[in-house]
Amino acid sequence: MLTPYRKLMDVNVAGREIRRLRRILLYGTCVRDEYPSIFRMYAEGRVPLAVCMEETHFNLVALKLASMAARVKLEELVVLTVDGSPHCVQLHMAVEEVDKIVGGLPRRHIVVEGGEAHEIEPMYIRIARYLTKIRKLAMGARLKGELF
């Protein structure tokens, strides 16, 4: 049985466990229930903090994370969400925005698709913000017969 969610918005940004481990797992709330083994694998050795972007505004999440990064020298921030969710993708983008603010944020982006975890490089999260760039990439892939 899993313990209750520990929400990002409910913890002190420089709390004892965060200062001690300096490794955070920031995860979309549904991941823990839908993919418990993947959740447990990434939660090991990290402070797991849940966020549901359907209930928490992007700006609140970004400010909370920037405040944390400004106070604690994080060794790693892992973002774990399901792939394809318009809400969850915001969590990845919020972390990239925090890196833009504080600089040098050691981060990893993981998405679950088809029951498997896939690491996504930060560059691709940044590209995903720009629909014109995605269109250009997709058009090039379509011409090569590589898209769908």
Using the structure block, give the residue that is written with the tokens 């690491």: 119
**CA 129 to CA 21: how far, in whole Å?**
31
Using CA atoms of 70, 72, 78, 83 in order, give the dihedral in degrees to the nearest 10: -40
**Per-residue pLDDT averaged across 124-142, rounded?**
90
Q: Hey, which residues does 81 pair with through a beta bridge?
A: 111
Q: How many CA atoms lie within 13 A of 37 on its CB side?
A: 3
How far apart, in whole angstroms, are the C-alpha atoms of residue 108 and residue 97? 14
Going edge to edge, which strands form the sheet with 116-120?
A: 47-51, 23-28, 76-82, 107-113, 116-120
Residue range 16-28, pLDDT digits in tens: 999 999 999 999 9
CA–CA distance, 53 with 18 (Å, rounded to integer)? 22
Residue 131 scores a pLDDT above 80: yes
pTM, whole model, 2 decimals? 0.92
Model pLDDT, residue 42: 98
Mean pLDDT of the chain: 94
Fold of 8-121: Dna Topoisomerase Vi A Subunit; Chain: A, domain 2 (3.40.1360)
Q: Measured between alpha carbons, how far is 8 from 107 in angstroms, rounded to an integer?
A: 16
* Structure-model confidence comparison of residues 61 and 139, the more confident one: 61
CA nearest to 52, candidates 43, 60, 42: 60
Q: For residue 20, give both structure tokens.
A: 């001690």
**Above 90 in pLDDT, residue 95?**
yes
Cβ atoms of 24 and 46 closer than 8 Å:
yes
Residue reference for tokens 């903090």:
49
Which whole number is the average pLDDT over 144-148? 64
The pLDDT tens digits of the residues spanning 27-82 come to 999 999 999 999 999 999 999 999 999 999 999 999 999 999 999 999 999 999 99
Residue 112 pLDDT > 70? yes
Q: So what's the pLDDT on residue 130?
A: 94
List C-alpha distances in Å: 83 to 43, 120, 127: 18, 10, 16
Answer yes or no: is pLDDT of 15 > 60.
yes
Residue 140, pLDDT score = 84
